[in-house]
A and B are shown apart, each in its own frame.
Chain A
């Protein structure tokens, strides 16, 4: 995790020289939804860096801004949004510390640009006036200026500037209007000594009295607002008041009692549909490219351990990670659009009551729903939940939303053991089972969240107060930025972990080399089972591969855990699959194919695997796989955390190994117990 930018400013805070010897540090502060990020993107373009602030899970964004041609670019820090310097959350504390120059290990800003939303002047000026009162160098960037003009708001920026004692620069970030003036204002303000605070009042900065008694803070707060109202009424002319804004008219439908939830479901359906259908094309493409690559490596390079490592370990591993990318990009795309347009807040508004009943926050809805496609973007989307305990609770249960990687496992089991069966002659059992899996996942998530909130994540219910920003057409530039930064995070974090694990697993399966050690005793059983596996007759290379797998470390591990998984209805071959699937769920399909000699031909692979599963027999002649076994496996896969990407992302988002380890542990326990209950209970009830 890279540390955030270190300042290059060695000069004393009182005088800053502007020359070519060092670059300035500029902090961007402002209310959430004020257009800070849009301005940040316009100023820095692609020269951005995202990391975590040291030691915490708050994200830091910094970039380079060319202030003037003769100067080195300035470092711009996009701070978390805040309403006031009296911080209530960790995000805000960090922003405040940086602004007040208390976070010397992070950055010391030379200039603060306060982003003030022109359509929301009074509230935005609360923070702005606090910052001006700290007597740092402040410039106000008046954003949404075009919107203000359209809603008949006439702002006399000169009067505002005179009253506040700082430059006020109107900007329209997405049209790149006002950016030059902003640079000039910043350079200007550097030359001057620090500001004297807002004119016309003499009371000291509120934040210094952070621990003063509430009544005092109360009255100072009110005084500040009174001052702001005076300033604004002096400088602003509002000519049109009583009409409902467009946003409110849209909200008539969007948060309507009936249409609201309906629209929400439609939106979610649309998102899933596009992900499942659109993502599959590039995913298959990537799959094909990488298996082709793997094949060509095997044919063109001399046979041997290194070639195997390259083909089966590295290329397969990288291919596995990249295959995720289309889905993840699509999800981030949708989440980003929903967020930027303002719809996300409405979704939280609609679902908060439901979420609260479980101990979660309305803002958890979209992240959890996204996890139905893939938990990785879902977990990353929990950033919007300010309360850390609520956020962790949401992260912990996100994997229970049956992600798309589980589907191949479900479909295989259903094809093998439940195909063709129907209920009431119409509804297929298979579809019911899949629906059941989804519902069971949700039910478990609810119970787990409820328990967690009452025990380890116990905390008083935080306030819900949430702004409903005006609807906006999302800026594609911002969306593209988000996509770029999020996917690089995924590739760097998850990618490296998955690659490492893929290589490890490859090694577990590749060693010891078949033929280098004699078959251990007790493997007569293995040979007999091999012989007992019926059509298709395994070809020689297939049989060799199967033997390799069975005698490898992974195979031995499978046999080692067999006694533990027998009560779940599994045998050691399934055990190998379970072990390998802990990196990524879908690998169990290929592992089982190898172990059961289903062959490499992708076309016949699945049907022959189904046949192999159905006919696999134990030494005593009884079937290994029964419908009950299939069900038990599905439930195990539903509840266990078998995804290195998720573990890696949880590690990053919670900034410690404690939570990911805990997650893997409790989910594994849950999976074991549920599988046990399913298999044993099922047998007791007379099912097979």
Chain B
């Protein structure tokens, strides 16, 4: 499952980032690496870009860029 597909407010963890695109390196440098906790906060009113919480800071990125980030969901589910 990739980051653009997971539901809002569910804790997840990055498993891999597809290399090769210009932006994926930048994302990784910013801490989106395998093992990092990540959570989709919401999408913009028109659906794109999406607002995610990585570790403990917030990032906005387009769905096309989020596609290169593969994640697994936690079992713990939603936060308040």
Stretch of A50-58, A72-80, A116-124, A557-565 that contacts chain B: A116-124
Q: Are B26 and A214 in contact (CB under 8 A)?
A: no
A244 at the interface (CB under 8 A from B): yes
C-alpha gap A470/B29 in the complex (Å) = 20
Residues of A in contact (CB 8 Å), total: 47
Tell me which residues from 1 to 46 in chain B have a Cβ below 8 Å from any Cβ of chain A: 19-20, 22-23, 25-31, 33-36, 41-42, 44-46
Q: Are A465 and B26 in contact (CB under 8 A)?
A: yes
With A88-B22, A469-B58 known, 5 other A-B pairs at CB within 8 A are A120-B56, A221-B25, A260-B45, A352-B44, A362-B49
**B-chain residues with CB within 8 Å of residue A218 when the two chains form the complex:** 19, 25, 28
Tell me which residues from 71 to 129 in chain A have a Cβ below 8 Å from any Cβ of chain B: 83-84, 86, 88, 119-120, 122-123, 126
Q: Are B62 and A464 in contact (CB under 8 A)?
A: yes
- CB closest residue in chain B, given A82: B29
Q: Are B58 and A468 in contact (CB under 8 A)?
A: yes
Q: Are B79 and A221 in contact (CB under 8 A)?
A: no
Q: Are A353 and B58 in contact (CB under 8 A)?
A: no
Q: Are A349 and B44 in contact (CB under 8 A)?
A: yes
**B-chain residues with CB within 8 Å of residue A258 when the two chains form the complex:** 45
Tell me which residues from 305 to 352 in chain A have a Cβ below 8 Å from any Cβ of chain B: 345, 348-350, 352
Q: Are B29 and A465 in contact (CB under 8 A)?
A: no
**B-chain residues with CB within 8 Å of residue A465 when the two chains form the complex:** 23, 26-27, 30, 59-61, 65
Q: Are B59 and A466 in contact (CB under 8 A)?
A: yes
**A-chain residues with CB within 8 Å of residue B56 when the two chains form the complex:** 119-120, 245
A257 at the interface (CB under 8 A from B): yes
User: A468 with B49: in contact, given A83-B30, A123-B30, A225-B31 (CB under 8 Å)?
Assistant: no
B73 at the interface (CB under 8 A from A): no
5 A-B pairs whose Cβ atoms sit less than 8 Å apart in the complex: A122-B31, A247-B58, A255-B45, A463-B62, A464-B65
**A-chain residues with CB within 8 Å of residue B55 when the two chains form the complex:** 120, 122-123
User: A349 with B60: in contact, given A261-B45, A468-B51 (CB under 8 Å)?
Assistant: yes
C-alpha gap A215/B28 in the complex (Å) = 13
A242 at the interface (CB under 8 A from B): yes
C-alpha gap A58/B46 in the complex (Å) = 33
3 tightest A-B CB contacts, nearest first: A463-B23, A353-B46, A468-B58
User: A468 with B60: in contact, given A126-B29, A222-B33, A352-B48 (CB under 8 Å)?
Assistant: yes
B41's partner among A120, A215, A248, A463 (CB-CB below 8 A) is: A248
A619 at the interface (CB under 8 A from B): no
Q: Are A244 and B79 in contact (CB under 8 A)?
A: yes
Q: How far apart are A386's CB and chain B's nearest CB, in angstroms?
A: 11
Q: Are A467 and B45 in contact (CB under 8 A)?
A: no
A287 at the interface (CB under 8 A from B): no
B75 at the interface (CB under 8 A from A): no
Tell me which residues from 430 to 474 in chain A have a Cβ below 8 Å from any Cβ of chain B: 462-470
Q: Are B26 and A463 in contact (CB under 8 A)?
A: yes
User: A353 with B41: in contact, given A83-B30, A464-B65 (CB under 8 Å)?
Assistant: no
List the count of A-B residue pairs having beta carbons below 8 Å apart: 121
C-alpha gap A51/B35 in the complex (Å) = 42
Q: How far apart are A145's CB and chain B's nearest CB, in angstroms?
A: 16
A159 at the interface (CB under 8 A from B): no
**A-chain residues with CB within 8 Å of residue B45 when the two chains form the complex:** 255-258, 260-261, 350, 353
Q: How far apart are B16's CB and chain A's nearest CB, in angstroms?
A: 10
C-alpha gap A352/B42 in the complex (Å) = 15
Q: How far apart are B6's CB and chain A's nearest CB, in angstroms?
A: 17
Tell me which residues from 229 to 269 in chain A have a Cβ below 8 Å from any Cβ of chain B: 229, 242-245, 247-248, 251, 255-258, 260-261
C-alpha gap A244/B34 in the complex (Å) = 23
C-alpha gap A464/B27 in the complex (Å) = 11
- CB closest residue in chain A, given B57: A120
- CB closest residue in chain A, given B54: A123
C-alpha gap A88/B26 in the complex (Å) = 8
**B-chain residues with CB within 8 Å of residue A245 when the two chains form the complex:** 56
Q: How far apart are A144's CB and chain B's nearest CB, in angstroms?
A: 12
C-alpha gap A360/B26 in the complex (Å) = 21
C-alpha gap A119/B56 in the complex (Å) = 8
Q: How far apart are B58's CB and chain A's nearest CB, in angstroms?
A: 4
Q: How far apart are A647's CB and chain B's nearest CB, in angstroms?
A: 34
C-alpha gap A251/B51 in the complex (Å) = 10
Q: How far apart are A232's CB and chain B's nearest CB, in angstroms?
A: 10
Tell me which residues from 470 to 517 in chain A have a Cβ below 8 Å from any Cβ of chain B: 470
C-alpha gap A255/B57 in the complex (Å) = 16
**B-chain residues with CB within 8 Å of residue A46 when the two chains form the complex:** none
Tell me which residues from 612 to 634 in chain A have a Cβ below 8 Å from any Cβ of chain B: none
Q: How far apart are B9's CB and chain A's nearest CB, in angstroms?
A: 9
Q: Are B51 and A354 in contact (CB under 8 A)?
A: no
Q: Are A221 and B49 in contact (CB under 8 A)?
A: no
Q: Are B34 and A222 in contact (CB under 8 A)?
A: yes
C-alpha gap A362/B56 in the complex (Å) = 24
**B-chain residues with CB within 8 Å of residue A462 when the two chains form the complex:** 22
Q: Are A464 and B41 in contact (CB under 8 A)?
A: no
C-alpha gap A242/B80 in the complex (Å) = 9
- CB closest residue in chain B, given A31: B30
C-alpha gap A348/B48 in the complex (Å) = 11
C-alpha gap A350/B19 in the complex (Å) = 28
**B-chain residues with CB within 8 Å of residue A256 when the two chains form the complex:** 45
User: A214 with B25: in contact, given A349-B44, A350-B44, A468-B60 (CB under 8 Å)?
Assistant: yes
Interface centre among B29, B31, B35, B46 (most CB of A within 10 A): B29
**A-chain residues with CB within 8 Å of residue B27 when the two chains form the complex:** 465
Q: Are B48 and A353 in contact (CB under 8 A)?
A: yes
Q: Are B59 and A463 in contact (CB under 8 A)?
A: no
**A-chain residues with CB within 8 Å of residue B33 when the two chains form the complex:** 221-222, 225
Q: How far apart are B32's CB and chain A's nearest CB, in angstroms?
A: 9
